[in-house]
A and B are shown apart, each in its own frame.
Chain A
Amino acid sequence: GQQLNQSPQSMFIQEGEDVSMNCTSSSIFNTWLWYKQDPGEGPVLLIALYKAGELTSNGRLTAQFGITRKDSFLNISASIPSDVGIYFCAGQSGNSGYALNFGKGTSLLVTP
């Protein structure tokens, strides 16, 4: 599958700070998705993006589908302790049919 580069690998921040993470690819995607995985759980979909340039919010989370269709970012504003977890980006292209390509994840730790 196509490789996604997700950064940073990990973040250690204080409660109340804003967080930004991104995902890049050498290939074009038609869909970008962001998932969160809590410890001991499976990933849960946070935001799905279907159009280049699209900016979508879900509460304190905001994600954008890059204009080049090769990148996406996720911002979390005013972080809280329950934001702790691993955040995965995933891309889907017509070339890979239905298969999602996942990034390696960004591990987020939030201290009170």
Chain B
Amino acid sequence: ETGVTQTPRHLVMGMTNKKSLKCEQHLGHNAMYWYKQSAKKPLELMFVYNFKEQTENNSVPSRFSPECPNSSHLFLHLHTLQPEDSALYLCASSRGQGASGELFFGEGSRLTVL
């Protein structure tokens, strides 16, 4: 139990569907992150929020839309995805934006796009 909870753990969707991934952290952290993990590739940073403000969008396609209503919750809205978007999506949090590099990850949401 890392204090970061992601739902759903598994998601299968068609290319025309709209779905959302949810992340909640119970650590009192101020920064939250979305990472994409694909086989044989390093973790790819997608978005960063610090005190609810988006501070980083790492050239992510607009079919991925993040939302951070408060410092404890982070969403990733998905629409018109492609099969190559199938991956493990990891949420993470940290005390502040990258001050120590110490990230606390959730268990991930395994996304399959058909």
The stretch among A51-59, A76-84, A95-103 that forms the contact with chain B is A95-103
In the bound complex, do residue A42 and residue B97 qualify as a contact, i.e. CB atoms below 8 Å apart?
no
Instruction: Judge whether B103 is part of the interface by a CB distance below 8 angstroms.
Output: yes
The answer to the question of B83 belonging to the interface, with a C-beta cut-off of 8 Å to chain A, is: no
Rounded to whole Å, the gap between the CB of B5 and the closest CB of chain A is 11
Could you say which residues of chain B place their CB within 8 Å of the CB of A48?
100-102
Interface residue? A106 (CB, 8 A): no
* B92 surroundings in chain A (CB, below 8 A): 42
Contacts of B6 in A (CB 8 A): 42
Is the CB–CB distance between A42 and B107 below 8 Å?
yes
- In the complex, chain B residues 4-48 whose Cβ is within 8 Å of any chain A Cβ: 4, 6, 31, 40-43, 45, 48
Q: Mark contacts of B51-63 with chain A using CB atoms, 8 A cut-off: 1 yes-contact digit, 0 otherwise.
A: 0000010000000
Majority SS of interface residues in chain B? loop
Q: Are B2 and A4 in contact (CB under 8 A)?
A: no
**Mask for A36-68, Cβ within 8 A of B = 1, else 0?**
000011111100101000000000000000000
Q: How far is the CA of A100 from the CA of B41 in the complex (A)?
A: 14
Residue of A4, A42, A102, A103 contacting most chain B CB atoms (<10 Å): A42
Structural contact, B90 and A42, CB atoms closer than 8 A? yes
| Chain A contact residues, CB within 8 Å of chain B | 1, 4, 31, 33, 35, 40-45, 48, 50, 88, 90, 92, 97-105
- Can you add 9 more A-B contacts, CB < 8 Å, to A45-B103, A104-B41? A1-B45, A41-B107, A41-B108, A42-B2, A42-B92, A43-B90, A98-B97, A99-B98, A100-B45
